[in-house]
């Protein structure tokens, strides 16, 4: 029988965790100090082999599913109980850093090392998962959630077999809540919220959803010298008003959503011609689908008003819609209470970047723990989270999993 006072004294071995991070960072290190470990590349496969060895040395049984996910299981005490799971990814962008994804995987292995050296097993089996190709197609977590976009993922179909996956049976990678009762991912923030609020831990409320639109404004291209101002149908004037309206759409909502016009093409784009046509994109993100829907409604109202004022025609087409993935209340509350008991300051916050946890949250209870990123820098060799911050995050992960083991039923 495991006694709670015993558990609360458990701590991860910070030196061992950071040694693992540094050793993995040697695989794919480029001359200019970045890390390039693209999914399914020889570097990614080499890193998978090393991580697999560490998983086995930690007493876990390891297998690869059809989507190339590396899944390690530390057996639990109760037969037939669903698993608790943690993990992240070890692939990087072309010029990535040592912590993005890696921290979540290696902290998960470190949790198991600590349990094992203390002769402890959870009631539930504990899985540590390395998801395939997080940075590009997210094929690993998407397949697990049964949310695979086959058209996007086909680009990696051939590469899958090198990682032990199998495109023909990729749908078999799908899991359910009966198999995984809860998933918790530790990740670097990749932003500067924690640094600016001077908080040690981010308790993630969910991964934001996204609505993206393509907008076309048609006016009339005409001579920039001879066309009087009041007779113009200037598509760029309409676009300029729209850019500011989009900014206001976000600012007027209390939940602090973000909205961006990031791309804008002007035709004919010549100094002596009144712009006749503008194509632009609007990208809006928030934790609440209701807020996203309301912003979309306000956007269409604004488009109508701007079209009337500027004598232009404006068309809007949805191009991407990703539903928000809220974190489970139980897991958020557990992470908060762990932070309080460990004396760590924390901040409730949304994740504004996509993560494997977003897909896991589509079928089971999900939670995320953030640790600070120096200067908010990520997807860069300059990415830095101190050893102490990594250890704090891993200790929160360890204690969160211990508490969830008591909270989630085994049958």
**Residue ranges that bind Zn ion, judged by CB under 5 A:** 100-101
Please give the full DSSP string across 148-178, using - where no structure is assigned: --HHHHGGGTTGGGGGT--GGGGGGG---TT
Q: Which two tokens stand for residue 305?
A: 């008003």
Q: How many Å apart are CA 204 and CA 327, to the nearest integer?
A: 7
Phi, psi of 235 (to 5 degrees): -65, -30
Specify the residue, 100 or 110, whose C-beta has the smaller distance to Zn ion. Answer: 100
Please give the full DSSP string across 329-350, using - where no structure is assigned: HHHHHHHHHHHHHHT--EEEEE
**Which residue do the tokens 């071995």 mark?**
13
Closest residue (Cβ) to Zn ion?
101
Specify the residue, 136 or 288, whose C-beta has the smaller distance to Zn ion. Answer: 136
Closest separation between CB of residue 101 and Zn ion, Å? 4
Closest separation between CB of residue 210 and Zn ion, Å? 17
Specify the residue, 221 or 368, whose C-beta has the smaller distance to Zn ion. Answer: 368
Specify the residue, 51 or 235, whose C-beta has the smaller distance to Zn ion. Answer: 51
Specify the residue, 82 or 104, whose C-beta has the smaller distance to Zn ion. Answer: 104
- For β-strands 126-130 and 83-88, DSSP reports them as parallel
Specify the residue, 34 or 232, whose C-beta has the smaller distance to Zn ion. Answer: 34
Nearest to 381 by CA among 94, 97, 36, 27: 97
Specify the residue, 101 or 206, whose C-beta has the smaller distance to Zn ion. Answer: 101
Q: How many Å apart are CA 95 and CA 51, to the nearest integer?
A: 21
Q: Which two tokens stand for residue 225?
A: 């010298």
Closest separation between CB of residue 181 and Zn ion, Å? 23
Closest separation between CB of residue 96 and Zn ion, Å? 9
Q: For Cα atoms 363, 365, 371, give the angle at the middle one, nearest 5 degrees.
A: 120
Closest separation between CB of residue 301 and Zn ion, Å? 37
Nearest to 92 by CA among 46, 53, 123: 46
Closest separation between CB of residue 134 and Zn ion, Å? 6
Residue 283 in 3-state DSSP? strand
Chain length of the chain: 411
Going by C-beta distance under 8 Å and a sequence separation of 6 or more, which residues neighbour residue 319? 212, 213, 214, 281
Closest separation between CB of residue 253 and Zn ion, Å? 27
Specify the residue, 208 or 235, whose C-beta has the smaller distance to Zn ion. Answer: 208
Closest separation between CB of residue 282 and Zn ion, Å? 26
């Amino acid at each position: 029988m495991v006694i709670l006072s015993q558990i609360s004294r458990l701590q991860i071995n910070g030196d061992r965790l950071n040694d693992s991070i540094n050793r993995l960072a040697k695989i794919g290190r480029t001359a200019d100090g970045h890390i390039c470990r693209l999914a399914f590349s020889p570097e990614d496969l080499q890193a998978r082999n090393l991580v697999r060895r560490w998983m086995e040395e930690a007493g876990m049984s390891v297998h690869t599913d059809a989507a190339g996910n590396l899944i390690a299981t530390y057996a639990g005490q109760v037969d037939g109980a669903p698993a608790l799971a943690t993990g992240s990814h070890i692939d990087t962008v072309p010029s990535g850093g040592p912590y993005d994804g890696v921290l979540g995987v290696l902290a998960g292995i470190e949790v198991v090392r600590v349990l094992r050296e203390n002769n402890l097993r959870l009631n539930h089996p504990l899985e540590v998962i390395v998801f395939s190709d997080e940075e590009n197609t997210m094929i690993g977590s998407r397949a697990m959630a049964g949310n695979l976009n086959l058209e996007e993922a086909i680009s990696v179909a051939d590469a899958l077999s090198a990682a032990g996956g199998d495109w023909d049976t990729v749908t078999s990678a799908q899991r359910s809540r009966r198999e995984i009762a809860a998933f918790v991912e530790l990740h670097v923030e990749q932003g500067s919220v924690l640094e600016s609020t001077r908080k040690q831990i981010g308790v993630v409320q969910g991964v934001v959803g996204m609505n993206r639109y393509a907008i076309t404004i048609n006016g009339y291209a005409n001579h920039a010298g001879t066309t009087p101002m009041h007779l113009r149908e200037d598509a760029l004037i309409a676009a300029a008003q729209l850019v500011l309206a989009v900014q206001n759409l976000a600012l007027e909502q209390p939940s602090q959503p973000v909205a961006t016009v990031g791309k804008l093409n002007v035709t004919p784009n010549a100094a002596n011609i009144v712009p006749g046509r503008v194509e632009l994109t609007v990208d809006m993100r928030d934790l609440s689908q209701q807020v996203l829907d309301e912003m979309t409604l306000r956007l269409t109202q604004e488009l109508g008003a701007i079209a009337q004022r500027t004598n232009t025609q404006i068309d809007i087409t949805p191009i991407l819609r990703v539903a928000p993935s809220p974190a489970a209340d139980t897991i958020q509350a557990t992470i908060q209470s762990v932070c309080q008991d460990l004396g760590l300051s924390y901040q409730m916050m949304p994740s504004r970047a996509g993560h494997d946890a977003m897909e896991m949250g589509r079928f089971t209870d999900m939670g995320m723990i953030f640790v600070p990123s120096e200067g908010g820098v990520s997807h860069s060799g300059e990415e830095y989270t101190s050893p102490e911050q990594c250890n704090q995050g891993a200790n929160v992960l360890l204690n969160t999993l211990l508490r969830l083991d008591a909270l989630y039923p085994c049958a």
